[in-house]
Amino acid sequence: MTQTREAASGSRFSKDHPHYKWVALSNTTLGMLMATINASIVMISLPAIFQGIRLDPLEAGNVGYLLWIMMGYMLVTAVLVVTFGRLGDMFGRVRIYNLGFVVFTVGSVALAFDPALGGAGALWLIAWRLVQGVGGAMLFANSTAILTDAFPADRRGMALGINQVAAIAGSFIGLIVGGILAVIDWRAVFFVSVPIGIIGTVWSYISLKEVGTRTPGKLDWPGNITFAVGLTALLTAITYGIQPYGGRPTGWTNPWVLGGIIGGILLLVVFVVIERRVRQPMFNMRLFKIRAFAMANLAGLLASIGRGGLQFMLIIWLQGIWLPLHGFDYVDTPLWAGIYMLPITVGFLIAGPISGTLSDRYGARLFATTGLVIVALAFVGLMLIPVDFQYWQFAILTGLSGIGSGMFGAPNRTAIMNSVPAHERGSASGMAGTVQNAGTSLSIGLFFSLLIAGLAASLPKDLYAGLVAHGVPDAAAQKIADLPPVGSVFASFLGYNPIQSLLGQAGILAKLPAADAAELTGKSFFPQLIQNAFHDGLVVVFTAAAIMTLVAAVASFVRGSRFVHAEAHHTGGHRPRTGAIPVRSTAAVPVTTAGVRVPARTDDN
């Protein structure tokens, strides 16, 4: 039997108080900002972090540390967010959300006070990043469900629009904040979350209260275990597929990678079978029979993959090529890369709230679909401009991408939350969070591999020719040219000049004429050398991203018109048990929209 709990000690407002919904919006927006900024703030700050713990990320064996510090957080949030969404349905969304603030803040404190150096310091950071991921999953899983409970159907688009702007814009804001803090001190990258976490924790415990519908029951252990292990195996295998194996530039033929991918997919299939059979599932798979829910999640997954690929490629493009060509020192490129990507953040901040508010009246399909088409066109435009572009070209295209992402993100999440019954909102929010975070993790593995494939075709011969032309002996030049392109990509990603590192380690740099040594280690040699090969890889990556985004637009279009799953008034006065949602019955339930009672519909318009 479901129940609604009203009171939470210490709260000033009842659920019907006109101010409570704004309290919920402001607190959950702060939580989402903190969680998503943390995902990208480390990405842009990796050079300072590795220097701080005295670890060379380009040395053999250290690539694994780099990947796990960068991706461990996203992997944990993707794996656990559905579980915490279900726990929110069972025990209270506010309770799980508040605990997420606590866990996240504890992880931030531990990261800022890393006591070790070298590999031990990296392992400390990886472990506590995973802890942060647990807290982030609690926040991701329940923030949108809390908002959906607090706001009426005709105002959710605006509220979830602001929340989604915080969630996605945070990933770009983190690039700017990380670039600034990395210049000050690498520990500040982690410590900045501590005061925000403390304020958010105290505020959430004081102000938020349980106003949603709970679904008490037993935890679905078989479902939770198969989902967690399956998704972990899949995402971990994709992470290791980036690294070279057996003389090949990537590791997709590694038996462990193949085993992880195949085994992970099989376990996820088993998870689906389990969820369709157990009485109280971790996630009600019947929700995917609701077209608005299924298509919105498919569009969200593909859009998240494309957005992650865009962010990844822009960092490499700016830090490794464009900024050095324009006179910026490598050590300063993380900061300026964040600054030069401001147009995408501004575009998102403008379009997100507006489209979310308008979708309350007109539905999600028009805005979400149009936004995805704009993003796809931006990908095409970025392929057409030269690698050494004029900045106004880059600013317009990335700004358009931000506007398109904003038009899609807010209405799409609102459509997901409106399409499910109240007692499934935690699980639905968790699934939407999993889709978003898994898409980001998948994008790095997918687009990194595509970029490497593009570079492998032309970079070795260009690198060999450039080194020989500046006095490097043939044998040494050939040895460096034969190294996997992954090293050059990581160097670009981290704002390093790999030529200086490679020639220095081989003892060649000191033997070269001063003019040649200065040219090889200067700001322009490596960017000029890699730009043609990079463009080949960029075309492959952005073509794939544009195609995915257009497929997402098609999925968004076929979702149907505006659909709100109102709580059904069942005969006999009871709700159906979890796992037995009569989906087709929702079409007949009247829904209040802008003060007018209208029938909820799933037909297209």
From residue 53, how far is each of 65, 123, 494, 603 by CA, in Å? 12, 11, 15, 58
**Per-residue DSSP letters for 251-269?**
-TT-HHHHHHHHHHHHHHH
The one-letter code for the residue type at 407 is: M
Residue 598 DSSP code: E
Handedness of CA 328, 333, 339, 343 (dihedral sign): positive
For the segment 108-127, what is each residue's pLDDT rounded down to a tens digit? 899 988 888 888 888 999 99
For the segment 128-138, what is each residue's pLDDT rounded down to a tens digit? 999 998 998 88
Half-sphere exposure of 504 (CA within 13 A, CB side): 10
**Looking at the domain that runs over 3-219+282-455+532-557, which CATH code has it been given?**
1.20.1250.20
For residue 515, the Cα-to-chain-centroid distance in whole angstroms is 44
Of the two residues 391 and 312, the one the predictor is more confident about is 391
- Residue 332: pLDDT over 90: no
Check: CB of residue 235 under 8 Å from CB of residue 305: no
Of the two residues 144 and 103, the one the predictor is more confident about is 103
Structure tokens at 296: 């919105």
Of the two residues 255 and 329, the one the predictor is more confident about is 255
Q: What is the pLDDT of residue 375?
A: 94
To 10 degrees, the CA torsion angle through 237, 433, 421, 562? -110
**Per-residue DSSP letters for 168-237?**
HHHHHHHHHHHHHHHHH-TTHHHHTHHHHHHHHHHHHHHH----SEE------HHHHHHHHHHHHHHHHH
Percent of the chain with pLDDT over 70: 81
Query: Phi then psi for 595, rounded to 5 degrees?
Result: 85, 0
Handedness of CA 80, 87, 16, 568 (dihedral sign): positive
Check: CB of residue 320 under 8 Å from CB of residue 387: no
Q: What is the pLDDT of residue 168?
A: 67
Q: What is the pLDDT of residue 373?
A: 95
Q: What is the pLDDT of residue 384?
A: 92
To 10 degrees, the CA torsion angle through 387, 394, 547, 456? 20
For the segment 228-276, what is each residue's pLDDT rounded down to a tens digit? 888 888 878 877 777 777 767 777 788 888 898 899 889 889 988 888 8
For the segment 353-410, what is each residue's pLDDT rounded down to a tens digit? 788 778 777 778 889 999 999 999 999 999 999 988 999 999 999 999 989 988 898 7
List alpha helices for 419-513, DSSP H: 425-469, 474-481, 486-494, 498-505
pTM: 0.74
